[in-house]
Amino acid sequence: MPPRRAKDTRPAAAPKPSAAGKTTINDIARLAGVSKKTVSRIINHSPLVREDTREKVQSVMNELGFVPDPMARALAFRRSFLIGMVYDNPNAEYIVNMLSGALDSLRGTGFELVVHPCDSKSPDYIEGVRQFVLQQRLHGVFLVPRVSEDQALVDMLKETDCRYARIAAISLDDAARMITTNDREGAVEVAKYLESLGHKHIGLITGPQRYLSTRERGAGFIDTLSKRGAALPAKYIAEGGYTFESGVACAERLLALKPRPTAIFALNDEMAAGVYKAAHKLGLSVPEDLSVVGFDDSPIASRLWPSLSTVRLPIRDMGLHAAAMLLADPARPRPAPVITPYLVVRESCQPPRG
């Protein structure tokens, strides 16, 4: 279906500085007394322009509020001014924050953000991303976990010659294409915190082991406890599914152990909420009988009662860096950003009884 035709019934001579999209590079060239090619050079920050020429043209552009048409530029460049965000992450808070961060980078650049949620379990999702990238001639895309971990997707993007940036728990690619979130460090902090409170019997509820972030978080926690001489017995580790229900089930299993754990670390807040429910059913109070820590600092963390101590990832910053990476001059890649998760201490932990 064709877009409807512009009716063009606007008053002929608006006194306003001309509706954006009206004045063209030709107008600027004529008014500045140069060729359109020179104007084009200035738009594209070419160094091959005399300073006084640049100033003259620039002032005409400013006066008329000229903004070059991204469609025309895209057609000539064979590349649009669109950045794609590709994700399969079901965490809405995560997505919206990341999107805001990316837009922070794009503001004022003339680039816009186009979103592409997908189902990474579908066999043709890569083909879907491929068409997305190719048809819109995207300037670049950034990949959110867990799709960011899919090498087949990345291989397709390379083949397509599409710029990309990946967000993942550890580095999986060239530094110039990676936002590394260091999830491990967040879990290390939790281990130190619980150990410093004096807990000797600690339970861990992980997510599915196929997630890189899960493995990193789990390893950081386990390794740190080991190093501090408080190695976690295997039976104190339960594998959940990042859902509330799995958190309940795993907590029930852990709380039946002898000696009963006095603290449980769940690798996301959903499961930590499940731990609260399981504790409640057993008549255990948080934090008096059981300390709990989550991961993500999702909205639920501060809504629980008592409020949940948890690890926060600076998601907005991650989105900001990802977008900035795609806009950067490939000849001069920016230094890799350092993303650090940190523990948000609330009310859900205290030293063990006795």
Question: CA-CA distance, 240 to 206, in Å (whole number)?
Answer: 6
Using the rule CB under 8 A, is 303 a contact of its own copies? yes
Assess contact for 266 and 249: CB atoms under 8 A.
Answer: no
Question: CA-CA distance, 345 to 333, in Å (whole number)?
Answer: 36
Using the rule CB under 7 A, is 12 a contact of DNA? no
Task: Single out the residue of 227, 228, 280, 334 in contact with its own copies (rule: CB under 8 A).
Answer: 280
Q: Closest distance between its own copies and the C-beta of residue 292, in Å?
A: 14
The token pair at 205 is: 């509820």
CA-wise closest residue to 143 among 50, 212, 47, 216: 212
Instruction: Describe the chain by its helix, strand, coil percentages, rounded to 5.
Output: 45, 15, 40
Assess contact for 198 and 164: CB atoms under 8 A.
Answer: no
Eight-state DSSP code of residue 118:
-
Task: Single out the residue of 110, 208, 233, 333 in contact with its own copies (rule: CB under 8 A).
Answer: 110
- Of 230-238, 249-257, 282-290, 327-335, the segment contacting its own copies by CB under 8 A is 327-335
The H or E element containing residue 127 is helix 125-135
Q: Choose among its own copies, DNA, none what residue 53 binds, the Cβ cut-off being 5 to 8 Å by kind.
A: DNA
Assess contact for 101 and 317: CB atoms under 8 A.
Answer: yes
The token pair at 80 is: 């649009």
Q: Closest distance between its own copies and the C-beta of residue 191, in Å?
A: 26
Please give the residues from 182 up to 241 whose contact with its own copies meets the rule CB under 8 A. none
Question: CA-CA distance, 155 to 170, in Å (whole number)?
Answer: 18
Using the rule CB under 8 A, is 24 a contact of its own copies? no
Q: Closest distance between DNA and the C-beta of residue 252, in Å?
A: 60
Assess contact for 169 and 175: CB atoms under 8 A.
Answer: no
Question: CA-CA distance, 221 to 229, in Å (whole number)?
Answer: 13
- Of 49-57, 190-198, 213-221, 346-354, the segment contacting DNA by CB under 7 A is 49-57
Question: CA-CA distance, 182 to 171, in Å (whole number)?
Answer: 9
The alpha carbon of residue 157 and the mean position of all alpha carbons in its chain are separated, in whole angstroms, by 19
The token pair at 280 is: 């409640």
DSSP per residue over 264-328, as a string? EEESSHHHHHHHHHHHHHTTPPTTTT-EEEEES--HHHHHSSSPPEEEE--HHHHHHHHHHHHHS
Task: Single out the residue of 2, 123, 259, 335 in contact with its own copies (rule: CB under 8 A).
Answer: 2
Task: Single out the residue of 6, 48, 234, 256 in contact with its own copies (rule: CB under 8 A).
Answer: 6
Using the rule CB under 8 A, is 152 a contact of its own copies? no
- Of 56-64, 105-113, 185-193, 338-346, the segment contacting its own copies by CB under 8 A is 105-113
Q: Closest distance between DNA and the C-beta of residue 51, in Å?
A: 8
Using the rule CB under 8 A, is 353 a contact of its own copies? no
Using the rule CB under 8 A, is 132 a contact of its own copies? yes
Using the rule CB under 7 A, is 14 a contact of DNA? no
Eight-state DSSP code of residue 354:
-
Residues that bind DNA (CB under 7 A): 2, 5, 21, 24-26, 34-41, 43-44, 47-50, 53, 66, 68-69, 72-73, 75-78
Kindly list the residues in this chain that would bind its own copies in the complex (CB under 8 A).
Answer: 1-4, 6-7, 10, 19-21, 44-45, 67, 69-72, 74-75, 77-82, 92-93, 95-97, 99-100, 103, 109-110, 112-115, 117, 131-132, 134-137, 139, 160-161, 163, 244, 270, 273, 276-277, 280, 299-300, 302-303, 305, 327, 329-330
